[in-house]
Structure 1
Amino acid sequence: MSIKDEFQETKSELRLASLYQWFERAVVLFLTLLIAIVVVAAVWTLSLKILFGLVLAGGLDPSDFRVFQAVFGMIFTVIIALEFKKSLLVVAERREAVVQIRSVIVIALLAICRKVILLDLNETDALHTLAFATVILALGIVYWLVRDSDGRREETA
């Protein structure tokens, strides 16, 4: 399909869109722009902290667990923001009114994993550790079930 044909198709779809669909699309695009700005700012800040705060200042000690915890925490924050932006773009491009639950589960898994990475096991009791493990296991099972049901739905279609 040529770009001209795609443009014509999009133009005809937009003419048929209701006021709410226009509003929804505008909000999603605005949120995507905001998340993109946050991602750029986070990557810039992360780069400056790693380059000037750790490498040039001599603070990057491979044996210092706290430094690696902080760096990986910042990296996971950027990854979570990127996944959130991607899920917003999927919503903006969708043709159905269903939000992709897999994206929400992946974002939740990433957030919990970030928390576990930043967790200081010396200061955390066993009950909290068990709670994190249970949440990760439950989200993993839900993701597997949703992915499995999506696969079965595609096979029947």
Structure 2
Amino acid sequence: MRRYWRVMTFYERFEQLVALILSAVIAVVIIVAVVELVEIVALILINEPLNPMRSDAFQLVFGMIMTLLIALEFKHSIVKVALRRESIIQVKTVILIALLALARKFVILDADTSPGKIAALAGALLALGIVYRLVREHDGGAGA
């Protein structure tokens, strides 16, 4: 980034600074979330026997893990901007993050969730999946 700094426009420098600040903030959020996840898992293991039939503990833990994956993917996309590998956040990355968020929503759904809500979420997931595939095909099938 240093070698490009002199030839960057004012806006490109601004964009780089914002990307670096966002990356640092997200890194702090990720660290705090990992610490909280470890604490919750430790409390579950200490206070309650691990029972695979109790889905609420698994929903909590896997929901938190999915949230961390979403944050990591979001940070990764910002770091690519900061390292000048890409000039703006790519549509494909935004769709991927939305797919992860919807997958997380399915993981943490309660058993009494209405069929209409499940159908709406499934429709959104299907639509995003189709759009993601179309974008990948348009980009020549380049990686996620």
TM-score of the aligned structures, taking structure 1 as reference length? 0.84
Q: C-alpha separation between the residues in 2 aligned to 1:96 and 1:39?
A: 23
One-letter amino acid of the counterpart of residue 91, structure 1 = V
Structure 1 position 120, deviation (Å): 1.4
Aligned length: 142
Structure 1 position 64, deviation (Å): 0.2
Structure 1 position 96, deviation (Å): 5.3
Residue by residue over 1:89-114, the C-alpha shift from the partner in whole angstroms, topping out at 9 and shown as x without a partner, is 11222355442111101110111111
In structure 1, what is the equivalent of residue 58 of structure 2? 68
> Sequence identity, in percent?
44
Residue by residue over 1:104-147, the C-alpha shift from the partner in whole angstroms, topping out at 9 and shown as x without a partner, is 0111011111111111132x222111110100000000110011
One-letter amino acid of the counterpart of residue 103, structure 2 = C
Instruction: Give the direction of change, closer, same or farther, for the CA distance of 1:55–1:96 in structure 2 (3 Å limit).
Output: closer
More helix per residue? 1
In structure 1, what is the equivalent of residue 23 of structure 2? 32
What are structure 2's unaligned runs of at least 5 residues? Answer: none
Instruction: State whether structure 2 residue 134 is matched by structure 1 residue 145.
Output: yes
2:78 pairs with one of 88, 92, 101: 88
Structure with max Cα Rg: 1
RMSD: 1.7
Q: C-alpha separation between the residues in 2 aligned to 1:137 and 1:67?
A: 28
TM-score of the aligned structures, taking structure 2 as reference length? 0.91
